[in-house]
Structure 1
Amino acid sequence: MTGRIQREIKQSTPIGSLEEEAYLNVQRTANALSDEIGDLLRAHQLTPPQYNVLRILRGAGERGLTASDIGERMITRDPDVTRLVDRLEKRGLVERWRCTEDRRVVWTRISPAGLEALQPLDAPLHELHVGQLAHLGEEKLRTLVALLEEARDRA
């Protein structure tokens, strides 16, 4: 008997292990959930990494963060946070300035335009998350969160 993931990816040979099957399911599920979010963000002229940076900077407040701080907080790692922030700055969604004590340090904060860009996304993204996962129920969702955190701790 073949598993569902094996059928979905049209793999004719058996999956090597239960661990590999679980990994493939996590990847496939993350991709499916991310695609819907990407579609919503695209309608607002944002990519998922750009949204992630704006969300991080909104949470950081007026003080802002350095590029390395932003990189550490990203949901999906981006190897070139500086270039990502450059594009957001060109659109007026973030502001940057050099630290007066150490000119090598550049601070970034969300601009009023960036806050305006995020505001109309809050409710639709919440509704999308609810639509994607609420059917699992609270107990299964808490278990899922705990299992994913446990797996990530070992990664």
Structure 2
Amino acid sequence: MAGEGLQQELKKRSPFEVAEQEAMLNLLRTADRLHLEFVRLFREHGLSPAQYNVLRILRGEGGEGLPSLEIAGRMITSVPDITRLVDRLEAAGLVLRDRSARDRRVVRVRVTPRGVDLLSRLDGPVVALHRRLLGHLDAYELGTLNDLLVKARRPPDEGAGVPADA
């Protein structure tokens, strides 16, 4: 039975009500376990995963930076207060804010050389952690996992896959 692993882990006495419930709980439990490893790594460098994500986004943009709302839209996880997150990074000297020359209402956030240096020091450990956590999956399994996760994030078609009596 597919659910025995998670069912046993959770010490759940009865089977899952539907396969979707099992899949959702499996996804949440797995994400939590993997995320915790990244929390530990980034904490050693004075960062949260969200702060690391902001720095990576900004490094990828180069020297021009991005407005805060654009950064928020590119985040891996939703951040309720991007302004406060950027405030902390700025206080640590990892980012700078500048007013746009074209539109003074727009404030752009740029990664500083100190922020780039920190990211450079984290690049190797992050890749090593990815490999440690998922390296036991082969290329085919990783491709399948990625495809399924992308598909799961897409909104379902109206009525597709939903029984009439649901």
TM-score, scaled relative to structure 1: 0.94
Matched, 1:42 2:47: no
Mapped to 2, the partners of 1:16 and 1:81 lie a distance apart of: 38
Alignment of 1:1-150 (within 5 A): 3-150=4-151
Partner AA of 1:136 in structure 2: L
Mapped to 2, the partners of 1:13 and 1:47 lie a distance apart of: 37
Q: Secondary structure at the match of 1:39?
A: helix
Mapped to 1, the partners of 2:12 and 2:60 lie a distance apart of: 43
Q: Secondary structure at the match of 1:108?
A: strand
Segments of 4+ moved more than 4 angstroms: none
Mapped to 2, the partners of 1:146 and 1:76 lie a distance apart of: 19
Mapped to 2, the partners of 1:10 and 1:116 lie a distance apart of: 45
Mapped to 2, the partners of 1:147 and 1:71 lie a distance apart of: 25
Structure with greater Cα Rg:
2
Mapped to 2, the partners of 1:13 and 1:78 lie a distance apart of: 36
2:162 aligned partner: none
Partner AA of 2:22 in structure 1: E
- What do you get for the CA RMSD once the two structures are aligned? 1.4
- How far the C-alpha of 1:116 sits from its partner, in A, is 1.1
Structure 1 residues not aligned, in runs of 5+: none
Q: Secondary structure at the match of 1:135?
A: coil
Mapped to 2, the partners of 1:60 and 1:11 lie a distance apart of: 46
TM-score, scaled relative to structure 2: 0.88
How many residue pairs get matched?
Answer: 155
Structure 2 residues not aligned, in runs of 5+: 157-166
Mapped to 2, the partners of 1:96 and 1:12 lie a distance apart of: 54
Mapped to 2, the partners of 1:68 and 1:8 lie a distance apart of: 40
Partner AA of 1:25 in structure 2: N
2:164 aligned partner: none
2:160 aligned partner: none
Q: Secondary structure at the match of 1:75?
A: coil
Q: Compare the two structures and name the one with the higher helix fraction.
A: 1
